[in-house]
C-alpha cells in the first residue's frame, strides 16, 4: 500500500488538489504538459463568484447557479459550492491575491452574466493571473518540503487498473517519450476539451485526450452536449479571442445595425437582465439574428478601462487593432467552456474506485449552462473536494495493469475530427447533422473521434432544447423527459446513452 495522490493537470483544480493532499501530509505528484504558469486558469479574466455583498446570500448564489444551469446540476453539489465560496475568496486573500478592493479587507464586486447582484470578485481583467501566481507560490512551499513533486512536460498516458479500481497511471515525458509508472489515487484535473474543437477561446493544451482515454477505458461521460458558446469572442488565427463578460458587467452593450443606427437588442428583448443575460440566452439570440453584432464600450469612463478592464483594453488594441474607447468591437459566439465531462458524483468520485476528477474536465456544478465566474470557483472547490475523497478512501492496493497508451492522432486526423465536431456541435444542432457527424467519425481511428462520437450520441439522444443545447428539431425544453443527467458509456465496443434522475436537494 502506498498513500500518494497523483494529480493530472496543474491548473487551479490540480494545484488545489495537490495542496489539499500535501497539507494533510500525503505526497502528491503533479503532472502537466506545461508548467502551471501556462495553464488555462491563468487566462481567466473576469473573476470568481462569492456571495459577499450586503444584499447577497449563498442561497441567492445557489438559486442563480441552478437557474442558469436550467436545473440540471446536482443541487447538493451546488449547495456546497456556493456555501464555500466566501471562505474560498478569504483564503485567496490570505494567500496574497491582489483583488481590486473596497476598503481595507473587503474585495470589490462586479456584475456578471445571469446574476442581478454584484457577486464577482476580480483583479482588474486579469483575475486568473493573480490567483494562479499566489497559488503557485503556495505550492512551492510544499515542493520545497518534498510533499509535492512536479512532473512538468509530462502527458498522461494511461490508467493502471486492478480488481478494485484504479491503482495509478503512467505518464510520458515530452520530447524523449520516456515512460514513468506511478502508483496511487489518481485525480484528473486536465481541463476542458478545447483541442477536440480547435478555434476556441481556451488552451489547446487541454486537448481532451485524458477524458478520451478514460472514456475508452470505460469511465462514463456526462452532459457532454452542453458546450458553452460565449457571446463575445473575436476571430484570431487558430483561436478566438475572448472579450470578457466583465466588459458587459462594467456597462458594455450589444447591438446590431438597423437603418444605420444601433439597435440594442438584448436591452429591448430581455429588459430584466439585458446585456447580462446568461450566455446561452445571448448566444442563441445572436445566432437567431444572423447579423454582425457589435459590443459597444465607447460609453465607459477612462477610469473603468484603467482600473477594471486594462487587460481587455490591451487585448483589443494589440490583437484586434481596435480602440474600444473609440469604436465598437465586432463579436460573435465562440466555443468557450465545457459544462459536461468526466461523470463524477457530488464528492468528485468517478465510476472507478481510486479515480477522481475536478475542474473543467468533469461535470458537476454547471448543468446546462455555466454562470461566468463559477468555474474558477468550481475548479478550486472541486480540487479540494476530490483530494478529500481520495484521502478519505485511503491508499490504493499495489498492483493493477498499466493500460497501453493511445496512439497519437496524426495532424490530418486531428483537423478532420475538429472540422466534423464543429459542424455537428454548433450552437444549433439537429438529428441529421448529429447522425452525419457520428457516421463520419466512425471512419477515424483513436480515442478522440470516439470521445466526439460519445458527445454527439448524448446530443442526439437529448431530444429537447435546454441551456447550451439547442435542437432545431426539438425547440422546447422537456422537463418530464430530460431534466436528467446524460450519461454516456463505452462498453464492449459500443457507445450507449442513458438519462439519470437529478438528486433531490437534502
Ligand atoms: C479566456 C478565458 C477567460 C476565462 N475567464 C474566466 C473567469 O473570469 N472566471 C471563471 O470562473 N472562469 C473563467 N474561465 C474558465 C476558467 O479559466 C477554467 O474553467 C478554469 O481555469 C479551469 O481550470 P482547471 O484547473 O480545470 O483547468 P486548466 O487551468 O485548464 O488546467 C488544465 C491542466 O491540465 C494539463 N493537461 C491538459 N492535458 C493534459 C495531458 N494530456 N496530460 C497531462 N496534463 C494535461 C494542462 O497542462 C494544465 O496544467 C475563462 C476561460 C478562458 C479560456
CATH number, domain at 35? 3.50.50.60
High-pLDDT (> 70) share of the chain, %: 99
Q: Which residue minimizes the CA distance to atom 44 of ligand 1?
A: 32
Residue 116 Cα to ligand 1 midpoint, Å, equals: 26
Give yes or no for residue 495 having a pLDDT over 70.
yes
Residue 378 Cα to ligand 1 midpoint, Å, equals: 11
Pocket of ligand 1 (CB under 6 A): 8-14, 31-34, 39-41, 43-48, 127-128, 155-156, 189-191, 201-203, 205-207, 209-210, 242, 337, 359-361, 372-376, 379
Among 383, 402, 421, give the residue marking a domain's end: 402
Instruction: Please give the pLDDT value at position 398.
Output: 79
What atom in ligand 1 is closest to the CA of residue 358? 26
Active site residue 34: no
Q: How many domains does the chain have?
A: 2
Judge whether 272 lies within some domain.
yes
Give yes or no for residue 105 having a pLDDT over 90.
no
Judge whether 370 lies within some domain.
yes
Residue 200 Cα to ligand 1 midpoint, Å, equals: 12
pTM above 0.95, yes or no: yes
Paired sense of beta strands 470-471 and 428-429, if any: parallel
Judge whether 456 lies within some domain.
no
126 and 151 belong to one structural domain: yes
Q: CA triplet 351, 353, 357: central angle to 5 degrees?
A: 65
Q: Which residue minimizes the CA distance to atom 40 of ligand 1?
A: 155
As a whole number of angstroms, the distance between CA 138 and CA 96 comes to 10
As a whole number of angstroms, the distance between CA 370 and CA 245 comes to 13
What atom in ligand 1 is closest to the CA of residue 360? 26
Give yes or no for residue 2 having a pLDDT over 80.
no
Residue 38 Cα to ligand 1 midpoint, Å, equals: 10
CATH number, domain at 320? 3.90.700.10
Residue 41 Cα to ligand 1 midpoint, Å, equals: 4
With cut-offs at 50, 70 and 90, classify the pLDDT of residue 3: low
390 and 311 belong to one structural domain: no
Give yes or no for residue 335 having a pLDDT over 80.
yes
Give yes or no for residue 1 having a pLDDT over 70.
no
> How many C-beta atoms surround the C-beta of residue 198 within 10 A?
18
Catalytic residue among 172, 279, 308, 429: 279
Judge whether 422 lies within some domain.
no
Instruction: Please give the pLDDT value at position 282.
Output: 97
As a whole number of angstroms, the distance between CA 57 and CA 48 comes to 15
Average pLDDT over residues 445-473: 97
What atom in ligand 1 is closest to the CA of residue 373? 11
C-alpha closest to that of 112 among 64, 163, 184: 64
Residue 380 Cα to ligand 1 midpoint, Å, equals: 11
pLDDT digits (tens, 9 = 90+) for 392-401: 998 877 788 9
Instruction: Find the helix packing angle between 447-461 and 411-424, rounded to 10°.
Output: 10
What atom in ligand 1 is closest to the CA of residue 32? 44
Judge whether 216 lies within some domain.
yes
Average pLDDT, the chain: 96
Inter-residue contact 172 to 191 (CB < 8 Å): no
Among 351, 385, 402, give the residue marking a domain's end: 402
Give yes or no for residue 238 having a pLDDT over 90.
no
158 and 280 belong to one structural domain: no
Give yes or no for residue 498 having a pLDDT over 70.
yes
326 and 294 belong to one structural domain: yes
Average pLDDT over residues 350-365: 96
47 and 157 belong to one structural domain: yes
347 lies in which domain range?
A: 5-222+339-402
240 and 360 belong to one structural domain: no
pLDDT digits (tens, 9 = 90+) for 47-92: 999 999 999 999 999 999 999 999 999 999 999 999 999 999 999 9
Q: Which residue minimizes the CA distance to atom 10 of ligand 1?
A: 373
Instruction: Please give the pLDDT value at position 232.
Output: 98
- The residue among 1 and 313 whose pLDDT is bigger is 313
Among 311, 333, 355, give the residue marking a domain's end: 333
What atom in ligand 1 is closest to the CA of residue 45? 8
Average pLDDT over residues 411-426: 96
Instruction: Find the helix packing angle between 447-461 and 431-441, rounded to 10°.
Output: 160
154 and 40 belong to one structural domain: yes
Amino acid at each position: 500500500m502506498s498513500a500518494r495522490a497523483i494529480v493530472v493537470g496543474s491548473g487551479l483544480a490540480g494545484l488545489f488538489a495537490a495542496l489539499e493532499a500535501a497539507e494533510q501530509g500525503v505526497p502528491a505528484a503533479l503532472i502537466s504538459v506545461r508548467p502551471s504558469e501556462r495553464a488555462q486558469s491563468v487566462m481567466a479574466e473576469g473573476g470568481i463568484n462569492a456571495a459577499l455583498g450586503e444584499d447577497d446570500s449563498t442561497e441567492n448564489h445557489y438559486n442563480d447557479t441552478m437557474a442558469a444551469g436550467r436545473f440540471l446540476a446536482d443541487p447538493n453539489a451546488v449547495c456546497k459550492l456556493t456555501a464555500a465560496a466566501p471562505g474560498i475568496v478569504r483564503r485567496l486573500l490570505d494567500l496574497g491575491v491582489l483583488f481590486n478592493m473596497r476598503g481595507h479587507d473587503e474585495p470589490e464586486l462586479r456584475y456578471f452574466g445571469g446574476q442581478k447582484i454584484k457577486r464577482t470578485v476580480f483583479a482588474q481583467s486579469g483575475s486568473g493571473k493573480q490567483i494562479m501566481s499566489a497559488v503557485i507560490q503556495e505550492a512551492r512551499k510544499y515542493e520545497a518540503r518534498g510533499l509535492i513533486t512536479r512532473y512538468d512536460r509530462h502527458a498522461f498516458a494511461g490508467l493502471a487498473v486492478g480488481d478494485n479500481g484504479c491503482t495509478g497511471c503512467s505518464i510520458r515525458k515530452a520530447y524523449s517519450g520516456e515512460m514513468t509508472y506511478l502508483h496511487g489515487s489518481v485525480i484528473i484535473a486536465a481541463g476542458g476539451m478545447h483541442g477536440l474543437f480547435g478555434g476556441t477561446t481556451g488552451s489547446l493544451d487541454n486537448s481532451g485526450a485524458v477524458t478520451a482515454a478514460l472514456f475508452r477505458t470505460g469511465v462514463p461521460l456526462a452532459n457532454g452536449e452542453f458546450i458553452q458558446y460565449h457571446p463575445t469572442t473575436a476571430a484570431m488565427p487558430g483561436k478566438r479571442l475572448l472579450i470578457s463578460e466583465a466588459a458587459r458587467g462594467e456597462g458594455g452593450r450589444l447591438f446590431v445595425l438597423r437603418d444605420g443606427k444601433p439597435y440594442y437588442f438584448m436591452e429591448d428583448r430581455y429588459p430584466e437582465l439585458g446585456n447580462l443575460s446568461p450566455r446561452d440566452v445571448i448566444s442563441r439570440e445572436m445566432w437567431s439574428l444572423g447579423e454582425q453584432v457589435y459590443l459597444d464600450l465607447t460609453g465607459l469612463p477612462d477610469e473603468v478601462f484603467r482600473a477594471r478592464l486594462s487587460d481587455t483594453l490591451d487585448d483589443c488594441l494589440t490583437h484586434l487593432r481596435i480602440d474600444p474607447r473609440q469604436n465598437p468591437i465586432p463579436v460573435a459566439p465562440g466555443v468557450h467552456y465545457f459544462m459536461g465531462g468526466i461523470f463524477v458524483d457530488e464528492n468528485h468520485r468517478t465510476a472507478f474506485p481510486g479515480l477522481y476528477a475536478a475542474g473543467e474536465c468533469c461535470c458537476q456544478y454547471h448543468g446546462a449552462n455555466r454562470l461566468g465566474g463559477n468555474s474558477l470557483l468550481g475548479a478550486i472547490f472541486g480540487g479540494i473536494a476530490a483530494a478529500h475523497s481520495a484521502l478519505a478512501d485511503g491508499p490504493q492496493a499495489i498492483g493493477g495493469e498499466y493500460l497501453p497508451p493511445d496512439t497519437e492522432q496524426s495532424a490530418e486526423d486531428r483537423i478532420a475530427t475538429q472540422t466534423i465536431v464543429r459542424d455537428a456541435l454548433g450552437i444549433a444542432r439537429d438529428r441529421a447533422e448529429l447522425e452525419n457527424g457520428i457516421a463520419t467519425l466512425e471512419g477515424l481511428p483513436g480515442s478522440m473521434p470516439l470521445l466526439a462520437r460519445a458527445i454527439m450520441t448524448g446530443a442526439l439522444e437529448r431530444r429537447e432544447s435546454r441551456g447550451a443545447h439547442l435542437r432545431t428539431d426539438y425547440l422546447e425544453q422537456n422537463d418530464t423527459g430530460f431534466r436528467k443527467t446524460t450519461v454516456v458509456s463505452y462498453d464492449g465496443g459500443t457507445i450507449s446513452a442513458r438519462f439519470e434522475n437529478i438528486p433531490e436537494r437534502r
